[in-house]
Amino acid sequence: MSELKNWSANYTYSTSRVEYPQSVDDVREVVTRSNKLRALGSRHSFNGIADSTDTLVSLEKMNRVLAVDPAHRTVTLEGGAKYGDVCAVLERAGLALPNLASLPHISVAGACATATHGSGVENANLAASVSAMEIVTANGDVVPCSRENDGDEFYGMVVGLGGFGIVTKLTLDVIPTFLVRQDVYENLPFTNIADEFETIAASGYSVSLFTTWRDDGFNQVWLKRKVTLGELENVETFFGATRATAPLHPIAGMAVENCTAQLGVPGPWHERLPHFRMEFMPSSGQELQSEYFVARQDAPAALDALQRVREQFAPLVQISEVRTIAADNLWQSPCYQRASAAIHFTWIQDWDAVRAVLPRIEAQLAPFDARPHWGKLFTMSPARVQSLYPQINHFRALLETYDPRGKFRNAFLDAYIFGTSSDR
């Protein structure tokens, strides 16, 4: 059997044994007869968080939207559903998710398990929309949990890192549908970021700053604004940046057809909030990714610290994105009780070179208690990662309650949740 790799082909899973259940009963049967297993998701992680040496479980055949409830403003879906599939159903019902990833190709359950994405000073990450879940636990039981009924324990389980079991069902909060226009601006001076970061970040529903770190500015600003009463007027300059007159891709030379519509043309939320369109390749494909979360008020100082050593890592950067995310109460979220700024790196696919510069980046960000993205590449020690999460002891105890024999544990969880070894 051929080797199984992740989306970017930088990670080879430790087994090619993948189960494809088609029902909850199928999932229960797989879990009951397996000694060790992990949910695979859509394979958009860049490290071993979803790996297993025994069995992987893909829910790609369990991808239905089960119910849309306009009265309670919720949508319930199976664990294998992807955002692109859910969005179309919601739009037809006149509803929307409050936030989306930069790409709609990822699975909802996988995104929520790692608290990924989200953009906007008032918008939390994707996991914050979860109001209820159904999980098949280690003994094959189907366990429901919800924000309404389970309180603090629920906040510990949403960003579960795959450790509680196989998530077969999710219920998400939704809002009325809305229109968004997207304008791209070029050449934002870094000095303006230092002086006006909070104002810039709050200038739209979602604001993304892109840089290659090769000069003193941001190459592009992607400004996404809600359109509520007719079309907004064009704004030709944005804090020293100039409005683009043609569509752009964040990475120079990549096809702009891959990207969502720009130039201020209003469109439905799900066709503007992502950077990339469902029917095209997201980002560049041949890449590595890292991401670090700092407190939003520390963003200018953190960016300045990176600017001081940019020559050490800039040659490896395809593009870097800076955005903001609202605080949440999810124990293992990198935005736990902290309004955050995310500093994201899309690297060339050279792990040896990237691994050599990550400690230098992490050293610059250490004074700001930067939390690494769970599903991306970092070199922080397990002890350091654990120290960044105030609820780590409660989270560890909760995992042991649901999975006392460690059926869903793997090397990643053993290191970064249960252990202190620096080995990856």
Would residue 92 count as lying in a domain?
no
Phi first, then psi, for residue 377 (nearest 5°) are -90, 130
What is residue 2's DSSP assignment?
A: P
Q: pLDDT at position 311, please? A: 97
Assign 119 a pLDDT band (cuts: 50, 70, 90).
very high
Query: For the chain, what percentages of helix, strand and coil (3-state, to nearest 5) are there?
Result: 30, 25, 45
Would residue 295 count as lying in a domain?
yes
What is residue 261's DSSP assignment?
A: P
Q: Find the CATH number of the domain harbouring 300.
A: 3.30.70.2520
- Residue 255, pLDDT > 70, answer yes
Would residue 375 count as lying in a domain?
yes
What average pLDDT does the segment 230-256 reach?
89
Would residue 136 count as lying in a domain?
no
Phi first, then psi, for residue 151 (nearest 5°) are 55, -130
* Segment 57-81, tens digit of pLDDT: 999 999 999 999 999 999 999 999 9
Q: pLDDT at position 143, please? A: 97
* Segment 177-215, tens digit of pLDDT: 999 999 999 999 998 888 899 999 999 999 999 999 998
> What is the rounded radius of gyration, in angstroms, for the C-alpha atoms of the chain?
21
Q: pLDDT at position 424, please? A: 33
Distance CA 94, CA 91 (A): 5
Q: Please, what sign has the CA dihedral across residues 96, 153, 145, 162?
A: positive
Helix (H) or strand (E) holding 346: strand 340-347
Pairwise pLDDT comparison (44 vs 35), residue with the higher score: 35
Unique residue bearing structure tokens 């559903």:
81
Tokens of 236: 């030709």
Assign 102 a pLDDT band (cuts: 50, 70, 90).
confident
Distance CA 195, CA 216 (A): 14
Which SS3 state, helix, strand or coil, does residue 389 take? coil
Distance CA 386, CA 349 (A): 28
What is residue 190's DSSP assignment?
A: H
Q: Are 402 and 165 spatial neighbours (Cβ–Cβ below 8 Å)?
A: yes
- Residue 320, pLDDT > 80, answer yes
Would residue 288 count as lying in a domain?
yes
Statement: the pTM of the whole predicted model exceeds 0.85: yes
The count of domains in the chain is 1
Q: pLDDT at position 231, please? A: 67
Q: pLDDT at position 280, please? A: 62
Which SS3 state, helix, strand or coil, does residue 202 take? coil
Q: pLDDT at position 393, please? A: 96
Q: pLDDT at position 421, please? A: 43
Which residues form the domain of 320? 179-269+282-382
Task: Give the residue from 5, 178, 10 showing the smallest Cα distance to 100.
Answer: 178
Would residue 237 count as lying in a domain?
yes
- Residue 279, pLDDT > 80, answer no
Would residue 218 count as lying in a domain?
yes
Assign 42 a pLDDT band (cuts: 50, 70, 90).
confident
What is residue 259's DSSP assignment?
A: B
Q: For the chain, what is the mean pLDDT?
A: 93
Q: Which region among 82-96, 232-246, 270-284, 297-311 has the lowest average model confidence (pLDDT)?
A: 270-284
Q: pLDDT at position 420, please? A: 47
Q: pLDDT at position 285, please? A: 61
Q: pLDDT at position 281, please? A: 56
- Residue 159, pLDDT > 90, answer yes
Would residue 290 count as lying in a domain?
yes
Phi first, then psi, for residue 82 (nearest 5°) are -105, 155
Tokens of 207: 């604001």
Q: How does 27-55 read in b/e, with b if 16+ C-beta sit within 10 Å?
A: bbebbeebeebbbbbbbbbbbbbbbbeeb
What percent of the chain clears pLDDT 70, i.e. is strictly above it? 96
Q: pLDDT at position 419, please? A: 86
What average pLDDT does the segment 241-257 reach?
92
* Segment 368-411, tens digit of pLDDT: 999 999 999 999 999 999 999 999 999 999 999 999 999 999 99
Longest CA–CA separation in the chain, Å: 62
Q: pLDDT at position 118, please? A: 86
Q: Are 399 and 331 spatial neighbours (Cβ–Cβ below 8 Å)?
A: no
Q: Are 343 and 292 spatial neighbours (Cβ–Cβ below 8 Å)?
A: yes
Q: pLDDT at position 423, please? A: 36
Q: Are 26 and 63 spatial neighbours (Cβ–Cβ below 8 Å)?
A: no
Q: pLDDT at position 222, please? A: 97
